[in-house]
Amino acid sequence: MTKKIIMLFLLLSGVNLSSYSQNATKAKAILAEVSKKFKTYQIVKAAFTFTIDNPKAKINRTEKGTLYVKANANKYRMTIAERDLISDGKNQWTYLKEDKEVQVTTVDNSSDALNPAQIFTLYEKGFSAFYTGEKRIGIKVFQIIDLTPLDNKKNYSKVRLSIDKSAKQVVNVLIFDKDGSKYTYSVKSFQPNVKLPESTFIFDAKKYPGVEVVDLR
């Protein structure tokens, strides 16, 4: 009887490992297609909502925003609520509109924070990926992929992507923080190859009379 139990356990373990491997392989294949398509774009414009859900602090709010990303240059401009985040790939400007203050920092690509320019490509490095299935909403089908950071020192434990199957596009990013908080970026509209000048990705203090520049570099 003991031998039969052991054999059954080994058999089930083999099936589970095989299933996990298949789902990991499928996740990589899906993400490779998404990445390939996204990199054909020059500048992308996306309207989105950003939701913070922090049960401990009793915070649950949603803000609307607009994001411009230069896909292959790590450049972005994000407007959300009363602040703008702007980066030329080397420097980041955080413009606090009510305070009439802009903080200048050096872009840290190894930071624990997620770079707005990487929202559509964050899965490309530093994660293991696992395909968990499909979800249909109306006429659209979404592929769900869970990302686990390889560095367990990250503040977040998991990132869940929802990908439009036909468009091959990330439409929802759900970040699970280790403190129990959840952060969600939900794309409401997506426009590729918009025409914008390079100055879009630089903060020009001359255009903001009275702004205080705080250089933290």
Residues 217 and 115: their CA atoms lie apart, in Å, by 17
Strands of 35-74, DSSP E: 43-54, 59-70
pLDDT band at 73 (very low <50, low <70, confident <90, very high): confident
Distance CA 105, CA 110 (A): 14
Average pLDDT over every residue of 162-183:
94
Distance CA 26, CA 130 (A): 8
Q: Give pLDDT tens digits for 80-117.
A: 988 999 999 899 999 999 999 999 999 876 655 567 77
Q: pLDDT over 70 for what percent of the chain?
A: 88
Answer whether 125's CB lies under 8 Å from 138's CB.
no
